[in-house]
């Protein structure tokens, strides 16, 4: 999979971590349709086809030009029969019957609406749907429904946090958090991760790594930061997950999705006066501030590169990095470490480049990871 045969033209790898994918998507008409299909399978807990459509979308996103005929898909990986049938329909009539049907389906529409609330996942959405609830007012008027703290804030700040966050707003939040962190410990290190590090103009939240070189100090840094944000009156919601990271536990084979670093999921109040060019506000909104979702994670410094790589995304890029490591290199990669199963040893890394090198992969820049 690394090198193409000499006769063939450059082939597209089946792994997103061997493709360069910028934010410029020339095949959005296909990838939007695939996302609807993937989501619909997700709502029905059908994992295989869901992943297949996400993989197919990811392949098309990496292409330098629009696919304008089925012939152009001939040498592309990860495109199955179902995927190709949808593409053919889109090429022929500009829309897909199957996608249109899903979009007009009441169950899909309702689950889509409910899961758009912070704190509401597919399971809760499904439960509410089965109880006959169809709208936010149905939910809020139903006395037997108990919303948890996260969902309460989700409804309270719905207008603000369902509106996208701009790059300027992300920068302004970076300044706020940087100042708070430095006041706590002058050697604090702050790095923007997630979609904004990949060069996206807009995001659904802002993700930061915040840590310090002082060993062990990172375990309490986030709660100190949250205390200060609260003091300043800008902490609208917080869900703090303390570190469960333990170096002595590492050699186990538990490489799971959620990492063990201290982290918090926040809603912060951002003042318009702090944002260059102003807030991305709703028309007619004159409050002068908005609520924004912010994620902070605090890895120990010797895991910084792994955390940065893991939190930069995209999700599809991360999935394929891990899959590539496992299937092509007999290695296990997660947000904490890289383990070589053949040598039976952990491979240290100070930078993301070190990790790509260990994996025998060409370095892919953050803005080329929009898989």
Q: How far is the CB of 6 from ligand TTP (least distance, A)?
A: 36
Stretch that binds ligand TTP, among 81-89, 114-122, 135-143, 306-314 (CB under 6 A): 306-314
Our CA dihedral for 80, 82, 84, 86, rounded to 10 degrees, sits at -150
Are the CB atoms for 137 and 113 separated by under 8 Å?
Answer: no
Q: Which is nearer to Mn ion, 167 or 217 (CB)?
A: 167
354 is in an annotated binding site: no
Instruction: Give the containing element (helix H, strand E) for 338.
Output: strand 338-340
Nearer to ligand TTP (CB atom), residue 70 or residue 258: 258
119 touches ligand TTP (CB under 6 A): no
The interface partner of residue 311, options being Mn ion, ligand TTP, none and the CB cut-off 5 to 8 Å by kind, is ligand TTP
The three-state DSSP-derived secondary structure of 241-269 is ECCCCCHHHCCCCCCCCCCCCEEEEEEEE
205 labelled binding-site residue: yes
Asked if 254 is part of the footprint of ligand TTP (rule: CB under 6 A), the reply reads: no
User: Is residue 311 involved in binding ligand TTP (CB under 6 A)?
Assistant: yes
Q: How would you classify the pairing of strands 331-333 and 262-271?
A: unpaired
- Residue 183: helix, strand or coil by DSSP? helix
Indicate which residue of 239, 285, 295, 302 is catalytic: 295
What CA–CA distances, in Å, run from 350 to 134, 284, 306? 50, 48, 9
Is the CB of residue 19 less than 8 Å from the CB of residue 55? no
Site string for Mn ion, 279-318 (x = CB under 5 A): ----------------x-----------------------
205 is catalytic: yes
Answer yes or no whether residue 352 interacts with ligand TTP by CB under 6 A. no
Asked if residue 291 lies in contact with residue 259, where contact means CB atoms within 8 angstroms, the answer is: no
Tokens of 38: 């993937």
Residues 74-103 that bind ligand TTP (CB under 6 A): none
Which entry of Mn ion, ligand TTP, none binds 58, CB below 5 to 8 A by partner kind? none
Among 26, 82, 84, 204, which residue interacts with ligand TTP (rule: CB under 6 A)? Answer: 204
* 285 counts as catalytic: no
Q: How far apart are CA 180 and CA 294, in angstroms?
A: 15
Among residues 162, 204, 171, which one has the least CA distance to residue 190?
171
Both structure tokens of 8: 């063939």
115 interacts with, out of ligand TTP, Mn ion, none, CB within 5 to 8 A per kind: Mn ion
* Helix H or strand E segment including 83: helix 81-93
Determine the Cα angle at 116 with ends 112 and 118, to 5°: 145
Kindly state the number of chain residues that form the binding site for Mn ion, as judged by CB under 5 A. 8
What is d(CA 5, CA 123) in angstroms, rounded to the nearest whole number? 46
Count of all residues that appear for the chain in the document: 371
Count of CA atoms in the C-beta half-sphere (13 A) of 246: 5
Of 236 and 333, nearer to ligand TTP (C-beta) is 333
What residue has token string 């082939």?
A: 11
If one asks whether residue 163 binds ligand TTP (CB under 6 A), the answer comes out as no
Instruction: Select the residue whose beta carbon is closest to Mn ion and give its number.
Output: 194
59 versus 371: smaller Cβ distance to ligand TTP: 371
Q: Is there a catalytic annotation at residue 295?
A: yes
CB of 148 to Mn ion, least distance (A): 13
Q: For 207-221, what is the HEC assignment?
A: EEEEECCCCCCHHHH
Q: Please report whether residue 205 would count as binding ligand TTP according to CB under 6 A.
A: yes
Of 263-302, which residues contact ligand TTP (CB under 6 A)? Answer: 295
Establish whether 68 is an annotated binding residue: no
Which residues contribute to the site for ligand TTP (CB under 6 A)?
194-195, 200, 203-205, 207, 258-259, 295, 310-311, 313-315, 318, 335
Binding-site residue numbers for Mg(2+) are 205, 207, 295
Binding-site residue numbers are 205, 207, 295
Which residues contribute to the site for Mn ion (CB under 5 A)?
115, 120, 194-195, 203, 205, 207, 295
Enzyme catalytic residues: 205, 207, 295
């Amino acid at each position: 999979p690394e090198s193409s045969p000499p006769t063939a033209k450059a082939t597209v790898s089946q792994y997103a971590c061997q493709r360069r994918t910028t934010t410029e998507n020339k095949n959005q008409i296909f990838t939007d349709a695939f996302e609807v299909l993937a989501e619909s399978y997700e709502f029905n807990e059908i994992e295989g086809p869901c992943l297949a459509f996400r993989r197919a979308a990811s392949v098309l996103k990496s292409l330098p030009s629009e696919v304008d005929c089925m012939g152009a898909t001939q040498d592309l990986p990860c495109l199955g029969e179902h995927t190709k049938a949808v593409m053919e329909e889109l090429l022929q009539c500009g829309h897909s019957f199957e996608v249109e049907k899903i979009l007009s389906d009441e169950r899909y529409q309702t689950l889509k609406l409910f899961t758009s609330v912070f704190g509401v996942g597919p399971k809760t959405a499904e439960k509410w749907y089965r109880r006959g609830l169809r709208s936010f007012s149905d939910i809020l008027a139903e006395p037997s429904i108990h919303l948890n703290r996260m969902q309460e804030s989700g409804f309270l700040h719905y207008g603000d946090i369902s509106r996208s966050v701009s790059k300027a707003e992300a920068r302004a939040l970076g300044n706020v958090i940087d100042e708070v962190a430095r006041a706590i410990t002058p050697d604090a290190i702050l790095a923007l991760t997630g979609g904004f590090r990949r060069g996206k103009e807009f995001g659904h939240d802002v993700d930061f790594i915040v840590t310090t070189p002082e060993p062990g100090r990172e375990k309490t840094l986030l709660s100190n930061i949250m205390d200060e944000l609260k003091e300043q009156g800008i902490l609208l919601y917080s869900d703090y997950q303390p570190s469960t990271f333990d170096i002595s536990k590492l050699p186990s084979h538990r490489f799971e999705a959620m990492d063990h670093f201290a982290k918090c999921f926040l809603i912060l109040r951002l003042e318009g006066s702090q944002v260059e060019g102003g807030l991305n506000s709703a028309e007619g909104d004159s409050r002068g501030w908005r609520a924004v979702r912010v994620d902070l994670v605090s890895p120990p410094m010797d895991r910084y590169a792994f955390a940065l790589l893991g939190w930069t995304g995209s999700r599809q890029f991360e999935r394929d990095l891990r899959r590539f490591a496992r299937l092509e290199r007999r290695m296990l990669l997660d947000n904490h470490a890289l383990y070589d199963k053949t040598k039976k040893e952990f491979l240290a890394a100070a930078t993301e480049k070190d990790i790509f090198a260990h994996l025998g992969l060409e370095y892919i820049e953050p803005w080329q990871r929009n898989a």
